[in-house]
Structure 1
Amino acid sequence: MSEPPGATIAAPEAPPAADEPSPPLAAQRVQPLRRPGRWIATAVVLVLAAQFVHGLVTNPFYQWDRWGYWFLRPTILDGLVITLEVTAYSAVLGLLGGILLALARLSKSPVLRAVSWTYVWALRSIPLIVVLLFLYNFSALYKTLSIGVPFGPAFFSFDESKLATDMVVAVIGLSLNEAAYAAEVVRGGILSVDQGQHEAAAALGLPKGYQFRRIVFPQALRSITPNYVNQLIGLVKSTSLVFYVSLLDLFGTAQSMGSTYPGDIVPLLLVVTVWYLILTSVVSVIQFYVERYYARGATRALPPTPLQKLRAGLTELRARIRREAAV
């Protein structure tokens, strides 16, 4: 088709210019997602925490000078030693009793199962203070104890009140109570072991005792440890009840000193609070390393220790500073 006379042919349009090349991916800075709600909540929590610490430090009601006077006094440290002794004895005896009760609960003997279940039911139902007070007054019910033929003559007799000292009463009461809870912890740990482990050990013809000591119980400890350490922390705090059976532990010593120095009741209670915080913190640290030890072979990587976390955090902080400086 011919063009009309006098018309000019338009020049073809030039192709659009190519876009400017984008910067390399490494030079692009990723903008983090903004979360204003998180920042607001963090600021509120920090303000409340700062107010709490400020009030705790500046309030004259707490008498921190008297707290410093009492914190390391020999009488307080003597009570602390008694608390540690009662806790240690009760923890060991309670765990041993819990293991025996758990094995009885899992046995094929209906008598052992019934006795174990009844013991656990009764001791978990009765408050610990009632158990301690009952044992403290046990000599009123049975003045003498004897060893001999059942329903027959006695070979040896002894006065119960001479043997049942305040320390013995406290340890027995706490151990009996602790064994009832430890039995369920141990039983749950044993039941958590895969049934195939029991069957494999039985197929090898291993004795029952060997199966339990070398195969079942080591695997059950992964489940038992965290639960029993929680019980142990509760046991540390439960020792404060032995004051009611005339044993001056940490709490009992503070109560006694508070009666003598009524103006120092609050500092003495703070002393007890700080010592219990220290004891439970030590138990928590021990729990972490015990759990880490028994986690070998069950996880691909062991959980990092606090020191390893600190080193990893410092390494990450240095790397971030280098990236910021390079940009």
Structure 2
Amino acid sequence: MSDSRTTGTGSAPPVPLKVVKLRHPWRNVFAVIIVLLLIAFVVDAATRPAYDWPAVGKYVFDRRITMAALITLQLTVYSMIGAIVLGVVLAIMRLSPNPVLKAIAWGFVWLFRGTPVYVQLVFWGLLATIYPTLDIGLPFLPPITQLPTDAALNTFWIAVIGLALNEAAYMSEIVRAGLLSVDRGQEEASTALGMSWAQTMRRVILPQSMRIIIPPTGNEVISMLKTTSLVTAVPFTQELYTRSRDISSETFNPIPLLIVASLWYLLFTSILMVGQYFLEKRFARGLTRIDAGAPVTTEAIQVQEAEARAKQSPADGESGERR
């Protein structure tokens, strides 16, 4: 006679399966080789005179470098704020039923995505040559006032405008993809509940689309941080890369200053990656995902079934009381 216990339904409990992991000896061999190569590179770099590590330590916290790093952050933040705001507007225009708005938004994206950002920054640097004055007034009428372009916009803000307009073309596509990822029925249900368009976007559409928008937006912020090194085309020379290059031209030792600039870029990128991780975690609440690489065992299935029964039991109790 079998002495196995039965559950309340009379069926025997499932027997846990013994999972045997597959052995991959070549993976371990390759891992060891890669680690040895990495150690060899680090040891060689630590002793190679061309890197000049004392000079790296001297300039990494130099006042000129730290001020340039702060300006680089300002360029990144201001440009991304403008790009996100304009990108949302362009995405809404692309989804609008108005053909004129759709055509204007499509033309903007086509132009700024189809030309290199360096070329665009060169054009923005020549803005004062193309438009010596900025006319303020109504179209086709004499201007109310005129401002010299050089006085109205310095090179810092010209760089911000150039970077923001280029990035807005990419952000509009990211936002549009996020908005299209939300089922159309969500908007129809919100309209049926009496919500306005603004309420529907703020409370229903945007919170759900943020799961799609945030990961590529985080990548674009990191990319923008590195793209600021191109504003020398404006020309704006106070950001991190150009400032470190100017110092290296004085010391005739470019490699340590390149390392210094890279260390600051890596620091900012690491901070942005951590922030992106927590943002993604924040907007992914309520979603469950099974790791594709994790083995599915009988114990894991039992745990999931127990959690499902625990969630259903209060509802079952309430329905029994109603009956």
Q: How many angstroms apart in 2 are the aligned matches of 1:105 and 1:291? A: 26
Q: Which residue is 2:56 aligned to?
A: 67
**1:66-123, CA deviations, whole angstroms, 9 ceiling, x for partnerless residues?**
0000000000011101101111100111100100000000001100000000100100
Equivalent residue pairs, number: 272
Alignment match, 1:246: 236
Cross-structure match for 2:257: 268
Equivalent position amino acid for 2:239 in 1: D
- Check conservation: 1:186, 1:224, Cα contact below 8 A: yes
Range that drifts further, 243-252 or 186-195? 243-252
User: What is the CA-CA distance between 1:60 and the residue it aligns to?
Assistant: 1.3
Contact 1:243 1:251 in 2 (8 A): no
Rounded Cα–Cα distance in structure 2 between residues aligned with 1:117 and 1:134: 21
What SS does structure 2 have at the residue aligned with 1:276? helix
Question: Are residues 1:281 and 2:270 paired?
Answer: yes
Gaps of 5+ in 2: 1-17, 291-323
Contact kept, 8 Å, 2:65 with 2:240, in 1: the verdict is: yes
Aligned to 1:190: 179
TM-score (norm 2): 0.81
- Helix, strand or coil for the counterpart of 1:193? coil
Matches of 1:207 and 1:30, distance apart in 2: 55
Whole-angstrom CA distance in 1 between matches of 2:279 and 2:76: 19
* Displacement of 1:253: 0.5
Would the aligned equivalents of 1:222 and 1:291 in 2 still touch at CA under 8 Å? yes
- Looking at structure 1, the residues matched to 20 and 282 of structure 2 have their Cα atoms a distance apart, in angstroms, of 41
Write the distance in 1 (CA, Å) between the matches of 2:36 and 2:138: 72
Matches within 5 A, 1:169-208: 169-208=158-197
- Correspondence for 2:146 among 144, 149, 157: 157
Counterpart position of 2:293: none
CA deviation after TM superposition for structure 1 residue 53, in Å: 1.2
Does the C-alpha gap of structure 1 residues 297 and 65 become closer, same or farther in structure 2, counting only changes over 3 Å? same
- The answer for the alignment partner of 1:26 in structure 2 is none
Cα distance, 1:154–1:223 mapped onto 2, change above 3 Å: same
Whether the aligned pair in 1 keeps the contact of 2:222 and 2:269 (CA below 8 Å) is yes
Match status 1:298 vs 2:287: yes
> Which whole-Å CA distance do the structure 2 matches of 1:221 and 1:32 have between them?
38
Paired AA for residue 288 in structure 1:
Y
Equivalent residue for 2:116, pick from 121, 127, 142: 127
| In 2: Cα distance, 1:143 partner to 1:39 partner | 65
Which of 28, 34, 54 pairs up with 1:45? 34
Check the 8 A contact 2:156/2:236 in 1, yes or no: no
* Residue 137 to residue 292, structure 1, CA distance change in 2 (3 Å): same
Q: Given the superposition, is the C-alpha separation of residues 30 and 136 from structure 1 closer, same or farther in structure 2, using an over 3 Å criterion? A: closer
Aligned-CA RMSD value: 1.6
SS in 2 for 1:146: strand
- Aligned AA for 1:174? L
Q: What's the counterpart of residue 255 of structure 1?
A: 245
TM-score by length of 1: 0.80
- Contact kept, 8 Å, 2:159 with 2:231, in 1: the verdict is yes
Please list every run of 5 or more consecutive structure 1 residues that lacks an aligned counterpart in the other structure.
1-28, 302-327
Letter in 2 for 1:165: N
> C-alpha displacement at 1:150, in angstroms?
1.3
Do the aligned partners of residues 94 and 32 (structure 1) sit closer, same or farther apart at CA in structure 2, a change above 3 Å counting?
closer
Residues in 1 aligned to 2:152 and 2:212: alpha-carbon distance in whole angstroms = 38
Residues 180 and 34 of structure 1: is their aligned pair in 2 closer, same or farther, counting only changes over 3 Å? Answer: closer
The residue type paired with residue 224 of structure 1 is: I
- Measured against aligned partners, the alpha-carbon deviations of 1:120-172 in whole angstroms (never above 9, x if no partner) come to 01001111111111111111111111122211122121111111201111100
Identity of aligned residues (%): 39
- Which residue in the other structure is 1:10 paired with? none
Contact map agreement 2:159 2:236 (CA 8 A) in 1: no
Distance apart, 1:31 and its partner CA: 8.0
